[in-house]
Structure 1
């Protein structure tokens, strides 16, 4: 939201109170509070009729400084609030005689000027990362009498801003206005399903604005040298997070807001859907599964989309008896074919659903300020909304889903969750409706995910969620929403996934081939390669099936090749999943995450790294030409063995059975046997393959319970294993040697 008219003037009707100088500082219980009048106090009378801005500094975790800016403090706090995992380290507070106050947490310091104009510098050592300058902070009233608090943090000349959720425009957010407000807007607009008021930079810091309601960002737009963020009301809370690298920023941010959960191994395999509005019954579904098996297409999960229930009854969680007269028997028959089962749900209860009357009677549906059940006709006729702020409503909703689990369902696609009223309603726990709009997705996905986790013996769970906000990464997996079936939409989907990865989300998927419309065979085949080199892979559409043979025979071959390729990468993907769970680093990584100091890499948005070892550049053209950037070193194509050098851009033409898929130099990649489905046993048929391994290079890696050490010295490559007696192999190029007594040695030419 903009408040000024150019550099000199405010917009009509807008007034801005700004802290001008520090009057007093207080410290207590690990906090430092600054009182800053909105004009200089030259004599005692100047304190009359003079607003004061209160700014409080604290530290929830090492290398993180919280800043709370307040005008009036008498308002009622209605919630909800983002969960913050606080460790509350003791800050170091220092004020040299006559100098600024230094408030430090770990390696991050806030330097607050006590003389002259309002200034707060955030430093790492002697380096200023960003600053709140004399005109940055503002308590604002607009022409309609609405109140806002804003902050503006300075941007360096070459600083780039990333994140802010799953956004489908340019990956770098400089020059963009971003309103964090969940909306069902597809992938072709500035709206987003997953809004996260957190951004990181390649300048050593990130910023988390801890407000679940609308947060408006002006990234170099209101003032081109600053990132502005503002919220309605009388207070603003944000946290500055020191890196120094983007990876470390993400690790610290996800420590605050929650790390991605582990997901079961079977979820990494290929998912196939009925699609949305297509006709299907058990016979149709069986024909799809049999068709995949006959064509030797590995399949892990089958998904039933909306019309597994009767029309106008979403959601009652009852199988359409005309199409599915024996749900439990059907699911058992399908699971005998070796697949897991997913079904579509949402949190909306149609008026014709039997659950509507039940939920109304029990008080489990959101009500208006007049006491009626809140309803509208968008999506489902007369639908209401489950009130997940009510613990009893959560249990009630989960109990309906448990019936499906007992029938044989393994996972839920938690669709929607964005169309949440922000005014005129009353929540069970008294939450502010505006703050509940984005936060609703958190409660919805948490309810379903925790049910799955509690019902599975191993405690693992997986959902396919569309809506989310900060902290939503704890409940994976998320997919990119409704995209068109074009190359342009494929590219915008990738940008969305990369933006979400830089917002703390460890896993991500998308609709292979696009959702709206029917892709031509070229789009489908190119998207299939991209989809099967994503963390999670799903064939799904709107009005047409996505079985590969619906396109052409080559589409079948492409699907088979890349599905098997992904299965062979399971030992590697499992490592990446553990890393996402342990440290918050995503499986699919924008180039800036691995190469933040490579000026050629920081702006690239048409490729990514799968983990830290594999570079993937999807092909977005019908003629097969791909332009891609390789950082420094000699990179090896994982499928062909071709070697290309960087740092530089390359332009190559690829057939449908290939794409730029390059292994980083100095890599030892664990390849599995690549059977029919993702295996929990990642040591089965294991080969350790070394790429561009130079003398002196050494790598330690984990594969399941085993630990491997690989080192090259004086032309000899030696690998040793601990924690396993299983057979494995060591490979370089075409040379392979089997391990003997958990040791393998290859003599290499110089």
Structure 2
């Protein structure tokens, strides 16, 4: 959100007040508190009739500094709040002998505030300034007809790049963008996002989390081209600065605070096959697909039933459609006999015709309006309501309904939707602020399902396939990229979204191989197969057409077999990289900037990525097979054709559909495995 009209003026209808200077500083137990009036205090009379902004520094973990900017301290602390994990730390707090400055230090990270002259705070890592809050950075904005806002601006250095802010499908480098943290079902070719995370990562080696589950607005070098601005509605703004080092070290600190993904089952890394969305399918169709993959020697590990395993107008009642699946337990047993796991589609929207609607309404388990009615809409399912996961009893009730599916033999759930959460005229069970519950709802939904699976299947065996998320959602993996078109452009959009998400603390990510909307051209499908099977997790899924390869052509069958088998050979390497994700937060799929921060050529790259620390993947986005990509310094070997190449340069290659730009570091375990060496 923009408040100013150029450098000198504010926008019409906006009153903007900024701290002028620090009037006094207090050292309290574990915190430094600065009181900053919005004008200079030259006489006693200047202390009257004007706001004072209070800025408080605390240390929730080593190398992390939390900052709270507050106008009215009596304003309600709205729920929900992100679940953040603290660690005992005793900060060092000093005021200089001459009274000119105060320092607050957590580990190797220091906030140094000027106590004389204009407002100014530097954030330093081992004595080097990472970013600063300057005289025009903090603002208390009163906007005509709206609640007030608080904003902060942290300076951008020359050549500094900003990444993250969730799964965003626009430009990977966020400089110059306006980004609103607001979950929406907008597909992959819009500025909207399913997974909004108010955390950004800087190429200078620091990160910033805005600790507010509501609508955070970012202006990344846009309103002030020399700063990243973030603002929230209300009387206070709380953010955290994560100390420097490499970007992966910053991710480690951030996920130590927001949570790391648990281990996923080994079978989840194999190939998933879906019925697709609106296609016609029954038991015969399902078994023909599964057997067809086996007959063509294409390894498959999971079969997924999308929406119409239930009856139309009844979603979600968790009842198999008797017309198409008269014996669901028998069918699931047949799939298990074939060595497969089973996933089914669910969401938290309860249609009026679902038997669960009346039960949930009677027990108070569905979201209510201010007059006590059940909140309902016809968007998606007729008359649907929404499970109120702020009510522990409603959460247990929802989990209980899923238990029957686990008894049937279901192994995993695709937790779809969770973005269209209303904010006007609704009342949540625990009194949560609807504005902040909107984004946070996705985490509550995914947590409820993931924890049920973990309880029933055991630690390390739980997995969901989720679309929506916010900060901390990486604790309930995994997530896929949502609804994309079936084109090369959409394929590249999806990759940008995945790289932005994994720069935001998420360890695992997937996407619909072949795209979701429409039917891909056979060549697009084959190129997407290579990309999809060199991703963290791999799923064949579409909207109104199937994704089994023989419906495209026989060459697609060969391509599917080759890349599925390649991923199988790489599995020990992938599992090792996945262990890093659970231990340090390092994502399995990561941008070149994350892996090679010292190489300036890597910083803007968004059409290639690293799969773990040693495998570089450059998908092909053209019918011609031509791909241009960058190899960092070192010796690299192509995983398929064996080409040996020196790094530190861009390469221009043309590959047929049986290959792509995929290189491993010379001498790496990944290279040995790809060649069929011992695990």
TM-score bracket, shorter-length normalisation: over 0.9
- Residues 246-645 of structure 1 mapped to structure 2, 5 A cutoff: 246-645=247-646
Q: Secondary structure at the match of 1:669?
A: helix
Cα distance in 2 for partners of 1:96, 1:580 equals 42
Q: Secondary structure at the match of 1:600?
A: helix
Q: Secondary structure at the match of 2:529?
A: helix
Aligned 8 A contact 1:613 1:667 in 2: yes
The residue aligned with 1:720 is none
Cα distance in 2 for partners of 1:666, 1:35 equals 58
Alpha-carbon offset, residue 614 of structure 1: 0.4
The residue aligned with 1:9 is 9
Aligned 8 A contact 2:639 2:674 in 1: no
Alpha-carbon offset, residue 670 of structure 1: 7.2
Aligned 8 A contact 2:265 2:460 in 1: no
Cα distance in 2 for partners of 1:671, 1:325 equals 48
How many matched pairs?
678
Is 1:87 the equivalent of 2:87? yes
Greater shift, 142-151 or 340-349, is seen at: 142-151
Cα distance in 2 for partners of 1:450, 1:142 equals 42
* Closer/same/farther in 2, CA of residues 54 and 312 from structure 1, 3 Å limit: same
Aligned 8 A contact 2:616 2:663 in 1: yes
- Residues 160-239 of structure 1 mapped to structure 2, 5 A cutoff: 160-239=161-240
Is 1:687 the equivalent of 2:678? yes
Larger Rg: 1
Cα distance in 2 for partners of 1:165, 1:457 equals 29
Q: Secondary structure at the match of 1:569?
A: helix
Cα distance in 2 for partners of 1:437, 1:110 equals 33
* Closer/same/farther in 2, CA of residues 640 and 309 from structure 1, 3 Å limit: same
Q: Secondary structure at the match of 2:555?
A: helix
Alpha-carbon offset, residue 666 of structure 1: 4.9
Cα distance in 1 for partners of 2:336, 2:666 equals 42
**TM (normalized to structure 2)?**
0.99
Cα distance in 2 for partners of 1:656, 1:126 equals 51
The residue aligned with 1:707 is none
Aligned 8 A contact 1:63 1:108 in 2: yes
- Consecutive unaligned residues in structure 1, runs of 5 or more: 675-684, 689-750
Aligned 8 A contact 1:148 1:231 in 2: yes
The residue aligned with 1:152 is 153
CA-to-aligned-CA distance 1:689-722 (integer Å, 9 cap, x gap): xxxxxxxxxxxxxxxxxxxxxxxxxxxxxxxxxx
Aligned 8 A contact 1:567 1:672 in 2: no
Cα distance in 2 for partners of 1:148, 1:31 equals 24
- Residues 93-112 of structure 1 mapped to structure 2, 5 A cutoff: 93-98=93-98, 99-112=100-113
Aligned 8 A contact 1:548 1:556 in 2: yes
Cα distance in 2 for partners of 1:161, 1:670 equals 32
Cα distance in 2 for partners of 1:423, 1:124 equals 43
Aligned 8 A contact 2:161 2:174 in 1: yes
Q: Secondary structure at the match of 1:465?
A: coil
Cα distance in 1 for partners of 2:141, 2:290 equals 60
Alpha-carbon offset, residue 433 of structure 1: 0.4
Alpha-carbon offset, residue 673 of structure 1: 9.6
- Residues 644-683 of structure 1 mapped to structure 2, 5 A cutoff: 644-669=645-670
Aligned 8 A contact 1:161 1:173 in 2: yes
Alpha-carbon offset, residue 17 of structure 1: 1.2
Aligned 8 A contact 2:342 2:411 in 1: yes
Alpha-carbon offset, residue 124 of structure 1: 1.3
Q: Secondary structure at the match of 1:310?
A: coil
Q: Secondary structure at the match of 1:287?
A: helix
Q: Which has the higher contact order (CA 8 A, sep 6+)?
A: 2
**TM (normalized to structure 1)?**
0.89
Cα distance in 2 for partners of 1:557, 1:280 equals 25
Alpha-carbon offset, residue 665 of structure 1: 3.7
Cα distance in 2 for partners of 1:103, 1:294 equals 65
RMSD: 1.1
CA-to-aligned-CA distance 1:609-632 (integer Å, 9 cap, x gap): 000100000000001001110011
Cα distance in 2 for partners of 1:660, 1:108 equals 40
CA-to-aligned-CA distance 1:451-470 (integer Å, 9 cap, x gap): 00000145520000000000
Alpha-carbon offset, residue 95 of structure 1: 1.2
The residue aligned with 2:25 is 25
Is 1:41 the equivalent of 2:32? no
Aligned 8 A contact 1:571 1:670 in 2: no
- Residues 111-122 of structure 1 mapped to structure 2, 5 A cutoff: 111-122=112-123
- Consecutive unaligned residues in structure 2, runs of 5 or more: none
The residue aligned with 2:70 is 70
